[in-house]
Structure 1
Amino acid sequence: SLYNTSSDYYAMKIHKLEDRPSTNLGTPHTFRIIDREIHFEEVGDSDILKIGSKVKELRKAANMTQAELAARLNMTSGAISQIENDLITPSLNTLVHIASFFKKQVEFFINTGLLENPEKGYKVLRKKDSAHSVSGPMKIQRLFDDRIPEINPYFMVLGGNQSMDGPIMLHKGRELIVVVNGALNLTIEGEELLFRKGDSIILERSFIERWSNHGKSDCEFIYIQY
């Protein structure tokens, strides 16, 4: 589906036909139409610039509505809403204008949670900057958010005396689970297996039919698709 957001920005939602869950199914991907050609924004822009939450934070701190801020910036309230929800990334000129209005440096909007050092060859992700979601009783923290295309790592927490059926996310490749804290019961091919702290399992063709935590404390584990 395609809809206009502001000025020459549009947003497009790609609806999957496969019956598989997706962590970013509803996330619009932003692009511009220039001379009747579609130009997608650089993928890294939204990772580096954490515009939306910071604009919203500054606006609320100033006790302003989206309409009031839009009027002061000579923008539409719809554009402000799209920026705050990270559906569009403002141009550099717009970002400078926003920063100037709130008396902030442009660097204020740059996300330093992910530190990439090409010379040392490592990446760091701070807990506060990772994506969190909930699937039933399971808390899911996405690690590095698609920045490592070969693997999909997650940190998961299953509450005490909680269970859930079926695979959390279907995956065509292998899956690795490492229990970090507590105990985890997994039902695989009709058999319930117990995994304690430090235990791990690799799934090559099987899938998990049921996740259970029979203890009182949370069970924490690393789940990696690769």
Structure 2
Amino acid sequence: MEFDVGARLKEVRKAKGLSQRVVAERSGVTNGMISLIESNKSSPSVSSLKKILTVLDIALADFFESETPEPKQFVFRPADFVEINPQQIFSSDDEPALEALSIKKVGNSSTNSLLLLYEVYEAGADTGAEALSHEGEEGGFVIEGKLLLEVDGETQVLKAGDAYLFDSTKPHRFRNVEKERCVIVNASTPPTF
């Protein structure tokens, strides 16, 4: 089932009581572009959508969520994990690389200050040719397999049992260049998507 980005953006914007013009001015995205996105005549880039959602005070992952767990919940079973479609977060010309990636979020970014992700990188999975960067810190553990991690131009191969921790304002990228799947548990603060 296709996610209706335009309808969701319009719903969130109206719930915040903001006009397209105000959101445009505050985000640096043109009013016309917001109108085109809301009418589903144009798809936003990840960068543009993040700028708009920052003004609306909603994390990228929460934008794509239809249901969120109860704020008082502190135990999460696999059925409570929210699958995040990598194609809605990362930009890549290599669709199979994104299809080979599964990201499951625990909790709700609007009520928690930590983003916790369970990520499965099948063979060839990649977060995209364009490195990511966002506010905060990011860290995690490789549970299974091997992962190629690039941070600020430096590349390292991590294997099961290894961990990473870095300033996430530095450009970074995750890739599985092995034939076996890789599983990681990733945490970042503040929640960015």
Structure number with higher helix proportion: 2
Aligned-pair RMSD on alpha carbons?
A: 3.3
More strand by share: 1
Percent sequence identity over matched residues?
A: 16
Quote the Cα distance in structure 1 between the aligned partners of 2:84 and 2:68.
Answer: 19
Tell whether 2:138 aligns with 1:128: no
**CA 1:148–1:209 in structure 2 vs 1: closer, same or farther (change >3 Å)?**
same
- Write out per-residue CA displacement over residues 157-202 of structure 1, whole angstroms, 9 at most, x where no aligned residue: 111133333345x431111121111100012222220000111111
Contact 2:144 2:159 in 1 (8 A): yes
Establish whether residue 165 from structure 1 lines up as the match of residue 129 from structure 2: yes
For structure 1, which runs of at least 5 residues remain unmatched after alignment?
A: 4-10, 29-44, 49-113, 117-122
Match of 1:196 among 152, 156, 159: 159
TM-score relative to the length of structure 1: 0.48
Task: Classify the secondary structure of the residue corresponding to 2:161.
Answer: coil
Q: Which has the higher contact order (CA 8 A, sep 6+)?
A: 2
Deviations 1:17-61 (A, max 9, x none): 373371123569xxxxxxxxxxxxxxxx9634xxxxxxxxxxxxx
Q: Which amino acid aligns with 1:23?
A: A
The residue type equivalent to 1:25 in the other structure is F
Contact 1:175 1:224 in 2 (8 A): yes
CA gap 1:26/1:222 in 2 versus in 1, 3 angstroms: closer
- Residue by residue over 1:108-165, the C-alpha shift from the partner in whole angstroms, topping out at 9 and shown as x without a partner, is xxxxxx985xxxxxx2101012110221232110012237622111111111133333
Query: Which has the higher Rg, Structure 1 or Structure 2?
Result: 1
The letter for the 2-side match of 1:166 is: E
Q: 1:47 aligned to 69, 87, 92, which one?
A: 69
Where in structure 2 are the equivalents of 1:146-185 lying within 5 Å? 146=109, 149-163=112-126, 164-167=128-131, 170-185=133-148
Compared CA separation, residues 179 and 17, structure 1 to 2 (3 A): same
